[in-house]
Structure 1
């Protein structure tokens, strides 16, 4: 990764609560050159990445602190509660207040966006595989219109993937068009207490074309999260890997279903 992009991303994570400008983030490079470099490297603009960092940190504060929604908005760099609420709801899929209530109630559902009436629908299917050296994982897979894991998603499912064995997935009722297929996962480690050494994983397939009444193939190979990856914004259930998975064939799809809410990876 380019050192200027790495420095900029580090700056965003450290100073997201401040009114950072593109000039602040780009220094010592020119704004135009840096903006092109950042987008070519990361896949989104610097402004979009910074907005994602702020929303992600807001999710953390809503779950882990007793700050009011207004105070949370100021703490993550917004100077308008209305702008924060709109940005949060658009990215996460629920309002800040509702997100907090769902987190405290311990339940959440994976709700895929309903296609517009009359839209041609297809499907995306394939396998999900884990990196070597990890235990079982619980994985969310869905189709998204952007390179950021944010609302809305289509055809979302949750499945359990065993260590060392790819597992099938199938996203149904995906509108025809071109999509990013994202996977978000948490994997156990090995040993007598594998849940004490968990790893966050992601995967992405770009430009997946879906046509009506057909199935598009897209294999998902997950990897560890990198600094360059935009944070996960969509409200997802806690991805709690199962302690054991039965051997055998088939494609065990769990979701959507109710589960505890997660503030993200």
Structure 2
């Protein structure tokens, strides 16, 4: 993975998140994360970047921080920017390929830069939906990588230990297709769990839209009704209810 590309994208979406959040009422509930207020959403991003940076530097696991206990300073933009910079610097200094602790066992340090980029991307969308101050924009290549990363994590053996709902996605060959204009993601439910490949083909249910909109549907930030859905809608709904990224 290109370290410069990931770093630039992280800074872009951290800035977009900060712009959407800055000036909003800290007590406003986040409609797509109703257990959080806007202040908690900001706290989560600032905490998560620093938490990941710490694990990259130490190469050791650390307890997941609680956003409800975060205490972001008044200058949200500066704090968020500093957290993103801390993470990018930690990966660069440690070495992108250096083995560290990840969500699914040992992996390269760059895992955390990519994971935090796409966590920030999704919460950038949340911030825009909460305050209405800006609109959510994302480059197609970033949305494509977000789908690659999220669907790849979902289909990694052992992922159900992190997200128990995935254990309910074993099946008998049922297929779901996410179809963008120039690419697609074909998900197959096998007896041992879901698999995903960058491909197009026949499927039991197909969702068609832009990379941006497919990402928002997969993360349950946009209703599939806003896109073109053909085939077994119940299969899609079952999958979405257990795989929100």
Normalised by the length of structure 2, the TM-score is 0.30
> Is the helix fraction higher in 1 or 2?
2
- Which has the greater radius of gyration? 1
> Is the strand fraction higher in 1 or 2?
1
Point out which structure has higher relative CO (alpha carbons under 8 A, 6+ apart): 1
